[in-house]
Amino acid sequence: MSGNAIEFATPFAVYFGDIDDDSWGKTGLGLVQWRREGCAGQLRLPGCRDRQLRHAGIDIVAGLHVRLASLPGLADAAQSGRARLIDVRIPPPGLPVGTGRKRSGLRLLTVGTDCACGKKYTALALDKELRARGRQSDFRASGQTGIMIAGRGLPIDAVVSDFLTGAAELLSPDNAADHWDMIEGQGSLFHPGYLQVTVGLLVGSQPDAFVVCHDPLSHEISGWPGFPLPTIAALIERTVLIGSLTNSGVRCVGVSLNTSKVPAAERRRLLARYAEEAHLPCVDPLVEGVGPIVDKLISEFRQ
């Protein structure tokens, strides 16, 4: 992993193009949230200042499957402006096949009922809270936004299928016995397009613990009509079933809800209901933080 650091200069500007919905700008929003100290501002269309940016010697960093250099004119513009084009979704060469070998140290993976329901945010918040309590922890980024935030990581969904579990194994290497890796999850085990990514990341990560992330106002896989979200209980059961292949002790330690669209008056009751149904701490990490989940984690995995 040391050879896979993603480095780009600060300060940086976030370019949102012509998106008309926040959910299409999650990489930029993640950087504004978690690397705010390096963010000089943001740019939007119309106004089209991106062309000027490209000739101003400012590096361009992207996390798409499409390579920046393949966009007409961009490589020339970058060269004439002495800027770099940095694609963070290119996996390193020579990835191995997964071995299933047990690694030292402790691992937590965030899983979700869908994509884009708080897995990255929750892992980052757990990492921050553990460090604040003086514990050893690392955030392990598995997606483009997480990699830009952490400055390192592996773009799991861009890895050739045969090497997906192997890449996930590299992402959280052997570590001290009381060290936690907080691994950013991807997709969902019930997602008809992406579940293979979720499965490979789960089995390669061999997590000791996991947290379920969920948007309580959603009922279908976003963008895949006709595919219902699983219940929290069903997702926990399936995660344990598949995760047991490489870690027989894998267990759920909490539920992370996105309550941003829930009416204020209903929020506490909603969290209480989920907590009671799952018999687990249930939080919105943006509102009350992840303290109750970290309490449980520390208590359950006392050395």
Q: Which residues are near a second copy by CB under 8 A?
A: 65, 97-100, 156-162, 164-166, 190, 192-197, 199-200, 203, 224, 226-227, 238, 241, 245-246
**Residues facing residue 213 across a β-bridge:** 112, 256
Q: Which is nearer to a second copy, 14 or 164 (CB)?
A: 164
Q: How far is the CB of 200 from a second copy (least distance, A)?
A: 3
Q: How far is the CB of 131 from a second copy (least distance, A)?
A: 30
Q: Which is nearer to a second copy, 6 or 203 (CB)?
A: 203
Q: Who's near 225: CB < 8 A, 6+ residues apart?
A: none
| Residues 281 and 255 sit within 8 Å (Cβ to Cβ) | yes
Distances (CA, A) of 222 to 6, 188, 193, 214: 30, 11, 11, 12
Q: Which is nearer to a second copy, 15 or 224 (CB)?
A: 224
Q: Who's near 144: CB < 8 A, 6+ residues apart?
A: 27, 62, 63, 64, 88, 89, 155
Q: Who's near 42: CB < 8 A, 6+ residues apart?
A: 13, 14, 15, 16, 28, 32
Q: Which is nearer to a second copy, 16 or 227 (CB)?
A: 227
Tokens 């705010």, residue located: 36
Q: How far is the CB of 209 from a second copy (least distance, A)?
A: 19
Q: How far is the CB of 100 from a second copy (least distance, A)?
A: 3
Q: How far is the CB of 229 from a second copy (least distance, A)?
A: 12
The neighbour count for residue 85, using CB atoms within 10 Å, is: 19
Structure tokens that stand for 87 in this block: 């694609």
Q: Which is nearer to a second copy, 38 or 92 (CB)?
A: 92
